[in-house]
Structures are given as structure tokens and as C-alpha cells.
């Protein structure tokens, strides 16, 4: 009923392989786009921008980066937080060495630094897989955070050891730093995230994406059919770390405004990994759903008791919040082990055949 | 049917909630947000401080009906010492709140540049960025009554008997949390070491090593410094004191900053840590009239979360002192602007014209609890000095007269760092002071 596919005929292979085989998918995306580009920015307050919209987008982007590596190419990584840090510190150095540079260019460039670091730490993946590889990326995590702490050149020898985002503007409009307005920052982040998402969809649906999936499903078989494993694995590390690095630069420049090294420590890696797993490995949509669950839901739950006028202290709410989110994660994983993206796919399937289930 | 039922329950809850929320807007209130942390790895140190802050506010509401007839609404927003939650809480509270109390050097660094834009003062008593003392540059930030650099200088002058040149050839180690907070005194200590000819060494303790500092204390034993200063927080304090006891490091050579003088942290070492000293700008005075009032109006009425045996803790009474600073600023602003419900900008004026002298402390029933100080347009710290407190195995006692920092030794560095900060964040608005 809601998702009536009757009358939508495919007359060519191209149509059958289109991004939106069902017309309603495109409409739904259109609605979401209108919400994201028009309705939210017009309606949101500073709090909504800073605590909900911007972080959800940035975390989705980081999870998308990780998902390419873990979900599409099957290489487990625990170093996402550190790779985000590489992007952030690279962007900071670029912006302080070339103060006049356009921030968008700097963010684009900083991704290459994390891509290079990612490839370097991806080298062990040629020899080891699974948990062993996870340990190798864990080493990257510890090493890089240590480097952020000890290499004072990275933070321009500031006494506090933290990096601070200066006021930056593009075309006369403040985009980063304290004077930037939330709405500009939101549009900047949204534009970057949209661009990267489109690129990611195209890569994962194309030749390279199929190559990664083949490696993920069985690397020996992939090698036998002529896929160059080294190229496939390292390209996955490069693309993934590039996206993660861009997310890290956005994380500090467009959202936090300041960062100390331990921000990029292992809890951040786990957070991004949770988003990717709960959202659904091997999907693009899942990253957004996961980020909404892990990043936005706690914030919303935090304001619910107050909005209802229930007098509960903030620390109790925090404890309840941790319990609720933990419970929800377990529930979702039991109900649908393949993540929220699969959950949505099932709902969509049901809607297509409704009201006649088989 | 089931769905209908849950919808009904949900809407009923909403309706009840709305009804309950409505009367809250009926009277004049001042919203005082606090970015508290009662959860997370630093909760042990956070809870007594936040309890003290809250109990003082509750006491004023109960005893005097607020401040000049305006109720104080003290609202906590839980951060768990997490900078990410800090942003969330800052955004959440900036609408109604009249001040920001960030409670973490990391969060302070994040909100400091925003304070100019959002026009809301940051109150960071005894923490944050030391150059915040320069009121011309940091118009919206306040760290009374003493900054970390004041603390470091006072510790040096205390161990040298007032003459820093007598430290020549000696070795001073700083065991610190490897975090913006712990690194704060290093520039000053390095500068003073070069000037007075003593050796300075920084020994960082990573956030992950807080509870296992054996490597650091091995290094201390090898280097055998004449004095060890500590800039520790949370679990690190107890870890360091226990490790010092274990390696038999002489306690009389071991001194901490005010955040390392916490009764709760010392409890596990107990009598073995006797002789450990810390510098503190407040000391517990259990028979002070304000403590009696808090007991009467708050604790006995069942409105306090503080166990009776913790009311004598340094940190609990420091929380009371911090709330007092803020309330006095509100009072000053009310008097100056002749309005009861002061806004954030007026509170900033109040913080800038804060005069806490001996007479005032007596009047508030807080004589001897906190160092007297006075802020001004160009001086946002007040530089009230501090006392040395010593652990006797069960509690901290005041063992020195009031110390004063040698400001002449600190000011040049303060001015340089403030300028550096303003330049890095250009365009940075400066304030003219008469």
C-alpha cells in the first residue's frame, strides 16, 4: 500500500540496477533531503545544531569511513579514533602554517595525511586478518595518541597541549572558531558529508566496491578470480582513512573548537565502531541510523525528564541514560543482528507486500 | 488495543508533566547552571565539591528566601568530565543561565573563546587557564582567588623559606596529570627554574596510568628530587600518595596543589601519608556560623546528599566557598544595576567587582574559611594567596600563615601568554580598563 511497486516496470538492465529501483525510495530520500537542507536549519536552535545535528553528521561520516574498511572490505579496525586525530592535527597544522588557506581545501588535504597513515598501518593486513589485524590497528591507536601527546610541534608547543581552532572564514562568512554561527557550520558539515556520501555510494556500488566485497567474503577465492589483494586491501585502508580523517578534521574544526590528545583515545574508536556495527556493516544508510541511536538519542533522553517536568537530578538521568542506551543496543542486536539498516530493509519489505504477508 | 493503551499512557504522562512544569515560571528566579560531574572517573572529587555548591544555594533559599528575594535555581548538567558532554551542557544552559561553571580545564578551553560571543561569564575558581587573570584580555573569564601559577610560585616560596635563590642547585620534580590541567604550571616553573638556578623536571602521568604510577615513582626514586610537587586529579591523587608511601618517599618533601588536597583521596593511605602537605585557598572551619546554618536548614531538613562525616572535608567546604563567590557577585550586580533579576552581563560586572575581605567573610559567617581577595577590571583572579594544609592521618589542618604569590615574578609571563592566546584567536576583543 504505502510502498506500492505495482506499475513500476523495469525495461532495461540499467533501470533494474538503478540506485532507487522503487520510486518511493527516491521520494523518501527527497523528503529527508528537504528536512536536512531546509526544515532543520530553519527550525533548529543553537543547542539542536551543536548537540544533535552537527555531531550526528560528523559521527556518521566517521562511521562511513570505518564501514568501508570493516563492512565492505572486511578488515577489522580499532584505530578509527587515532585516524580521526591524524586528520584533525593535520588540518590544524595546515591552517596554522598557511593561515590564508580555504578551510574546505585544508580539510580535503588533511584527509590525505590520515590516508597515508592508514595505509602504513594497513600493511599488516596483507599478512594477517581478523582479530590479529584488530590488534595491529590497536597498536596504531596507542602509538598515534602517544604521538599527539609527545610531539609538541603538532600543537605548536602550546602549554596546555591542546589545539584550538582560530577564527576562520570562507567568502566572508565565519565557518570555524567562536564567531562562526551554528547554521553556517551545519551547512558546511552537511555539504561535506553529502559529497562524501555520494562518492562512497558510487565507489561501493562500482568495480572497486565489488572487489572489496569479494575480498571480504573470501579472500582466497577473490585472489583466484584475479583480484589483486594488496591493491584491494590497501585501497580500502586509504579510502576509509581518508574519510575518517576528514571526519576528524570536521570533528575539531566545525564542532568542538578545541581538542586535547586523549579525545582521540580508544573510547572514540569504540564509539564509531558501535555506530557502524549497530547501524549495519556493509551499508551506507546504517551509519546514519547508528549515529542517530548512539549520538542523538542520549541527548534527547537527557532532556526528556526536564521537558516533562519530572524532578530528577542530572546525574541520575545520566545513569538512566547509559542503562537505556545499553539496553537498546542489546535489544536491537537481538532483534536484528545485522544492524539498523537491515531492520529498515525489513520494514520496507513488509511495507511493499502489506497487507498480504506471505 | 495495546497500542491505544500505550498512547493513552504516554499522552497522560505528557499532560501531567506540563501541569507540573507550569508553576515553576511563576516567580523570579536566577538560573545558576553547573557543569557537574557526579559520574565518571573523576566523580570521587566532583561529588563533594558539587554537594558543597548545592548545599550553600539551598541554604540561602531556605534561610533568606534566596538573594534579596530572588530564588536561586541551582541546576546541574552532568558532564562526567567529558569534554563532549561539556559542549552539550554549555549549549543547553546558555539560554537562561547567568554564568558558566565549566569544571574542567578541557571544557574551559572549549568555551573560553565562545564567552566573548555569547556574552556570559566563565567562573573557574582556582582552575582553568592561568593567564585568565589578565582581565583586559579575558573579559569574560574569572578564576578567583588564586591561579595555578600563583599556586606554583607560592609552593616554591614556601619550600624555600621565602627566598627562591636558596633553591639554587636543588632539584624539583612535578608529577602531573598529562592533560591540559596538569601541564598548566610547567611554563612558570620552567621560567623560575632558569631564573633561580634550580633543576626542574616534569613527570607526566597519563590518564590511563593514574592508578598505576610505579614507573613514575621509580623515576622519582632514581632522580631523588629535593621536592615533589603534584598537579593531580581524581584517581591520580590517591595513586600518587599510595605509591609515595610504598616507595617510602619522605612525605615532608611531597606537596600538592589545591586539587590534590582532598580528604577522600587520602583516606586509603590514611596514617601512612601523615605529613603530606597541599596548598589550599580554603580551609575547613567546622564551627563557622555558615556551617551551622547549612546543618540546620539543609542537612537536618534532609535536603543534602552529604554524609555528616564529610561536611568537614576540604572539598565540600570549597564548594560552599565557590557558591559564595558567585552569590556575592550576584549581590554586587543587584546593588549596582538596581535590579533583582540580574542577567549574565550584569553578573560579569559583579564578578569583576567582587570584594571578599575579612569583614565580609565575618558577616557571611565564613571567617577564616577562604582567603580574602578583590577582583578588578584588569585583575580577574584577585590573587588572594593560600594556606598550606597538612594531612595528620585523618584530616587536613592549616599549618602556615597566609601565603602570597610574588606577582612580579608571574606577571610578565601572564601578559605574554595572554597576548599569545589573543593573537592566535584573532580577532579577539579586548577590554579597556581605567
* pLDDT recorded at residue A1: 61
Query: Does A178 contact chain B (CB < 8 Å)?
Result: yes
B-chain residues near A256 (CB < 8 A): 83-84, 87, 110
State the average pLDDT over residues A48-74. 93
* pLDDT recorded at residue A167: 84
Using the predicted structure, report yes or no on whether residue A344 has a pLDDT greater than 80. yes
Return the domain boundaries, chain A: 22-353
* pLDDT recorded at residue A322: 86
* pLDDT recorded at residue A358: 62
Contact A308 B13 (CB under 8 A): yes
Buried b (16+ CB within 10 A) or exposed e, A284-295: bbbbbbbbbbbb
Angle of helix A54-67 relative to helix A229-250, nearest 10 degrees, comes to 170
- Selected for mutation to probe chain B from A138, A298, A318, A322 (highest B CB count within 10 Å) is A318
**Tens-digit pLDDT profile for chain B (434 aa)?**
444 444 444 444 444 444 444 444 446 889 999 998 888 878 888 899 999 999 999 999 999 888 888 999 888 888 888 888 888 888 888 888 889 998 887 888 888 888 888 888 999 998 888 888 888 889 899 988 899 999 999 999 999 988 888 999 999 999 999 888 888 899 999 999 999 999 999 999 988 888 889 899 999 999 999 999 999 988 889 999 999 999 999 999 999 999 998 998 888 888 888 999 999 999 999 899 999 999 989 888 888 888 888 888 999 999 999 999 999 999 999 999 998 889 889 999 999 999 999 999 999 999 889 999 999 988 999 888 999 999 998 889 999 999 999 888 899 998 998 888 888 877 788 888 87
Give A82 to chain B, closest Cα distance, Å: 16
Angle of helix A131-150 relative to helix A80-97, nearest 10 degrees, comes to 30
Query: Does A275 contact chain B (CB < 8 Å)?
Result: no
Q: How many residues does chain B have?
A: 434
Contact A164 B424 (CB under 8 A): yes
Of A46, A166, A314, the CB nearest to B91: A46
Of B21, B75, B110, the CB nearest to A257: B110
Give B407 to chain A, closest Cα distance, Å: 20
pLDDT digits (tens, 9 = 90+) for A71-122: 999 998 999 999 999 999 999 999 989 888 899 999 999 999 999 999 999 8
Of B91, B184, B186, the CB nearest to A51: B91
> From CA B101, how far away is CA B90, in angstroms rounded?
9
ipTM over 0.85: no
Domains and CATH numbers, chain B: 29-147+285-387+413-424 (3.40.50.2300), 149-282+389-408 (3.40.50.2300)
* pLDDT recorded at residue B5: 46
Distances (CA, A) of A164 to A59, A200, A263, B421: 20, 30, 13, 10
Of A50, A263, A310, the CB nearest to B83: A263
Helices assigned H by DSSP within chain A: 13-16, 23-34, 40-43, 46-47, 54-67, 80-97, 103-122, 131-150, 182-205, 207-217, 219-224, 229-250, 266-279, 285-291, 297-307, 314-335, 340-353
> From CA B205, how far away is CA B213, in angstroms rounded?
7
* pLDDT recorded at residue A177: 79
Give B92 to chain A, closest Cα distance, Å: 6
Contact B17 A310 (CB under 8 A): yes
Of A51, A178, A310, the CB nearest to B88: A51
For residues A2 and A356, the answer to whether their CB atoms sit within 8 Å is: no
**For residue B141, what are the β-bridge partners?**
B122
A47 to chain B: closest CA residue? B91
* pLDDT recorded at residue B319: 92
A-chain residues near B19 (CB < 8 A): 309
* pLDDT recorded at residue B27: 65
* pLDDT recorded at residue B267: 86
Query: Does A97 contact chain B (CB < 8 Å)?
Result: no
> From CA B87, how far away is CA A106, in angstroms rounded?
24
Interface of A with B in 307-346 (CB under 8 A): 307-310, 313-315, 317-319
For residues B137 and B419, the answer to whether their CB atoms sit within 8 Å is: yes
Domain A22-353 has CATH 1.10.3470: yes
Of B92, B109, B117, the CB nearest to A164: B109
> From CA A35, how far away is CA A292, in angstroms rounded?
15
The residue ranges of DSSP E strands in B286-386, in sequence order, are 355-356, 373-374
- Selected for mutation to probe chain A from B37, B43, B55, B92 (highest A CB count within 10 Å) is B92
Q: Which three cell numbers stand for residue B351?
A: 564578578
Of A164, A309, A315, the CB nearest to B425: A164
For residues B254 and B230, the answer to whether their CB atoms sit within 8 Å is: yes
For residues B41 and B232, the answer to whether their CB atoms sit within 8 Å is: no
For residues B175 and B229, the answer to whether their CB atoms sit within 8 Å is: yes
> From CA B343, how far away is CA B97, in angstroms rounded?
8
* pLDDT recorded at residue B427: 78
Which bin fits B80, alpha (ψ -120 to 50), beta or left (φ > 0)?
A: left
Backbone angles phi, psi at B300, to 5 degrees: -70, -25
- The average confidence (pLDDT) of chain A is 89
B-chain residues near A178 (CB < 8 A): 113-114, 116-117, 425
Residue in the block written with cell 603530606: B276
Amino acid at each position: 500500500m504505502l510502498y506500492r511497486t505495482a506499475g513500476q516496470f523495469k525495461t532495461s538492465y540499467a533501470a533494474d540496477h538503478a540506485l532507487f529501483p522503487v520510486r518511493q525510495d527516491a521520494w523518501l530520500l527527497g523528503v529527508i533531503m528537504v528536512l536536512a537542507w531546509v526544515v532543520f536549519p530553519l527550525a533548529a536552535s543553537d543547542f539542536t545544531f551543536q548537540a544533535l545535528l552537527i555531531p550526528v553528521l560528523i559521527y556518521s561520516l566517521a562511521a562511513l569511513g570505518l564501514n568501508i574498511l570493516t563492512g565492505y572490505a572486511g578488515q577489522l579496525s580499532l584505530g578509527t579514533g587515532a585516524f580521526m586525530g591524524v586528520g584533525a592535527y593535520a588540518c590544524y597544522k595546515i591552517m596554522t602554517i598557511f593561515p590564508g588557506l580555504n578551510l574546505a581545501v585544508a580539510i580535503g588535504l588533511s584527509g590525505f595525511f590520515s590516508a597515508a597513515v592508514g595505509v602504513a598501518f594497513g600493511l599488516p593486513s596483507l599478512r594477517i586478518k581478523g582479530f590479529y589485524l584488530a590488534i595491529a590497528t590497536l597498536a596504531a591507536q596507542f602509538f598515534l595518541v602517544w604521538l599527539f601527546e609527545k610531539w609538541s610541534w603538532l600543537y605548536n608547543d602550546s602549554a596546555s597541549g591542546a589545539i584550538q581552532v582560530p577564527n576562520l572564514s570562507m567568502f566572508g562568512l565565519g565557518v570555524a572558531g567562536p564567531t562562526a554561527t551554528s547554521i553556517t557550520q551545519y551547512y558546511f558539515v552537511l555539504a561535506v558529508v553529502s559529497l562524501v556520501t555520494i562518492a562512497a555510494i558510487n565507489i561501493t556500488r562500482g568495480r572497486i566496491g565489488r572487489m572489496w566485497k569479494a575480498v571480504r567474503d573470501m579472500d582466497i577465492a577473490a585472489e583466484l578470480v584475479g583480484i589483486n589483494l594488496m591493491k584491494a586491501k590497501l585501497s580500502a585502508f586509504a579510502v576509509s582513512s581518508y574519510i575518517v580523517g576528514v571526519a576528524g578534521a570536521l570533528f575539531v574544526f566545525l564542532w568542538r573548537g578545541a581538542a586535547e590528545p586523549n579525545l582521540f583515545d580508544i573510547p572514540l574508536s569504540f564509539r564509531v565502531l558501535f555506530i557502524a556495527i549497530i547501524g549495519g556493516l556493509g551499508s551506507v544508510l546504517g551509519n546514519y541510523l547508528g549515529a542517530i541511536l548512539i549520538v542523538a538519542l542520549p541527548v534527547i533522553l537527557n532532556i526528556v525528564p526536564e521537558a516533562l517536568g519530572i524532578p530528577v537530578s542530572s546525574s541520575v538521568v545520566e545513569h538512566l541514560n547509559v542503562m537505556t542506551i545499553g539496553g537498546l543496543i542489546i535489544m536491537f542486536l537481538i532483534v536484528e543482528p545485522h544492524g539498523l539498516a537491515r531492520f529498515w530493509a525489513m520494514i520496507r519489505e513488509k511495507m511493499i507486500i502489506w497487507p498480504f504477508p506471505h | 488495543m495495546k497500542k491505544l493503551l500505550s498512547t493513552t499512557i504516554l499522552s497522560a504522562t505528557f499532560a501531567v508533566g506540563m501541569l507540573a512544569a507550569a508553576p515553576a515560571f511563576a516567580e523570579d528566579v536566577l538560573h545558576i547552571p553547573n557543569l557537574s560531574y557526579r559520574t565518571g572517573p573523576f566523580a570521587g572529587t566532583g561529588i563533594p565539591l558539587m554537594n558543597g555548591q548545592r548545599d550553600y544555594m539551598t541554604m540561602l533559599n531556605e534561610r533568606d528566601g534566596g538573594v534579596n528575594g530572588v530564588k536561586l535555581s541551582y541546576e546541574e548538567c552532568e558532564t562526567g568530565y567529558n569534554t563532549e558532554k561539556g559542549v552539550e551542557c554549555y549549549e543547553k544552559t546558555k539560554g537562561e543561565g547567568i554564568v558558566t561553571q565549566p569544571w574542567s580545564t578541557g571544557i574551559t578551553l572549549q568555551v573560553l573563546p565562545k564567552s566573548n560571543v555569547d556574552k556570559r561569564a566563565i567562573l573557574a575558581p582556582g582552575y582553568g587557564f592561568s593567564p585568565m587573570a589578565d582581565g583586559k584580555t579575558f573579559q569574560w573569564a574569572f578564576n578567583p582567588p588564586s591561579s595555578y601559577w600563583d599556586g606554583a610560585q607560592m609552593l616554591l616560596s614556601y619550600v624555600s623559606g621565602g627566598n627562591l635563590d636558596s633553591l639554587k642547585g636543588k632539584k624539583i620534580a612535578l608529577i602531573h596529570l598529562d592533560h591540559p590541567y596538569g601541564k598548566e604550571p610547567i611554563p612558570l616553573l620552567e621560567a623560575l627554574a632558569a631564573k633561580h638556578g634550580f633543576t626542574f623536571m616534569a613527570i607526566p602521568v597519563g590518564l590511563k596510568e593514574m592508578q598505576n604510577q610505579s614507573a613514575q615513582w621509580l623515576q622519582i626514586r632514581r632522580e631523588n628530587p629535593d621536592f615533589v610537587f603534584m598537579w593531580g586529579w581524581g584517581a591520580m591523587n590517591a595513586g600518587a600518595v599510595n605509591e609515595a608511601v610504598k616507595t617510602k618517599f619522605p612525605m615532608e618533601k611531597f606537596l600538592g596543589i589545591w586539587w590534590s588536597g582532598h580528604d577522600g583521596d587520602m583516606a586509603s593511605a590514611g596514617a601512612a601519608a601523615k605529613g603530606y602537605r597541599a596548598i589550599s585557598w580554603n580551609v575547613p572551619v567546622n564551627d563557622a556560623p555558615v556551617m551551622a546554618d547549612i546543618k540546620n536548614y539543609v542537612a537536618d531538613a534532609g535536603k543534602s546528599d552529604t554524609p555528616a562525616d564529610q561536611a568537614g572535608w576540604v572539598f565540600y567546604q570549597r564548594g560552599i566557598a565557590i557558591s559564595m563567590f558567585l552569590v556575592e557577585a550576584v549581590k554586587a550586580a543587584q546593588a549596582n544595576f538596581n535590579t533583582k533579576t540580574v542577567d549574565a552581563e550584569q553578573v560579569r560586572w559583579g564578578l569583576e567587582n567582587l570584594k571578599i575581605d575579612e569583614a565580609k567573610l565575618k558577616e557571611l559567617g565564613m571567617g577564616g574559611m577562604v582567603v580574602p581577595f578583590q577582583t578588578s577590571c584588569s585583575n580577574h583572579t584577585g590573587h588572594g594567596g593560600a594556606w598550606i594544609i597538612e594531612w595528620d592521618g585523618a584530616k587536613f589542618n592549616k599549618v602556615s600563615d597566609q601565603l602570597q604569590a610574588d606577582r612580579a615574578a608571574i606577571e610578565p609571563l601572564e601578559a605574554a601568554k595572554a597576548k599569545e592566546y589573543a593573537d592566535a584567536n584573532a580577532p579577539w576583543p579586548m577590554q579597556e580598563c581605567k
